[in-house]
Amino acid sequence: MSKQYGFYIDTKHCTGCKACMNACKDRQNLPEGTKFRKVYEFAGGSWQNADTNAVKPDVFAFYASMACNQCDDPACLEICPGKVYSKRASDGVVTFNPSTCISCFACREVCPFTAPSYNYEKGHMTKCVMCTDELENGVPNPACVKACPSRALDFGTIEELKAKYGNVQSISPFPATTKPNVVYLAHKDAAGGVTAVNPEEV
């Protein structure tokens, strides 16, 4: 593979504004309910009674903006009975051919990031391809990255991202089992077991 593109996700500075989601939906003209990028909200902790009869807060909250991570071992590609997915050799982007989709949802169920999203208007699964259809040469040019006001998203080859941001490629609750091409700047509370508090949105 000549190049492998990926995303950088800064969970310390993401404010959960969802500008990335809106830019993606606008760029891809996605109908209601179809999402290529989702913003997870995580929260936890508790209010503790201190010895002074005061209440001491021990709570946290942070956000993570997630899309397809163009995995090296994409679970969607392996499980799909219609052979909808393929991994492009030129840039590592996992593409899809909707004409063979049988709408079984197996790809979404097996993806650790639930990246495949069903388009009810078109009647087949869809997913993020990093806006490779935006430029004539097919180079990724993600609208989500350009829209982020906090600069909490970036993209590039995975080698460039690791050199620039480090080598953290897994945070709770997102595993690295499919070898996702993503680099994180992790929030300090992302090390423990956390669950999303906005499951109806993602």
Please give the domain boundaries of the chain with CATH numbers for all domains: 5-69+129-185 (3.30.70.20)
Query: pLDDT tens track of the chain, all 202 residues?
Result: 679 999 999 999 999 999 999 999 999 999 999 999 999 999 887 777 766 777 777 788 889 999 999 999 999 999 999 999 999 999 999 999 999 999 999 999 999 999 999 999 999 999 999 998 776 677 788 999 999 999 999 999 999 999 999 988 877 778 889 999 999 988 887 766 677 778 777 6
pLDDT of residue 180: 95
User: Per residue, what are the HEC states of the chain?
Assistant: CCCCEEEEEECCCCCCCCHHHHHHHHHHCCCCCCCCCEEEEEEEEEEEECCCCCEEEEEEEEEEEECCCCCCCCHHHHHCCCCCEEECCCCCCEEECHHHCCCCCHHHHHCCCCCCEEECCCCEEECCCCCCCCCCCCCCCCHHHHHCCCCCEEEEEHHHHHHHHCCCCCECCECCCCCCCEEEECCCCCCCCCCECCCCCC
pLDDT at 168: 84
The per-residue pLDDT for 198 is 82
pTM for the model stands at 0.87
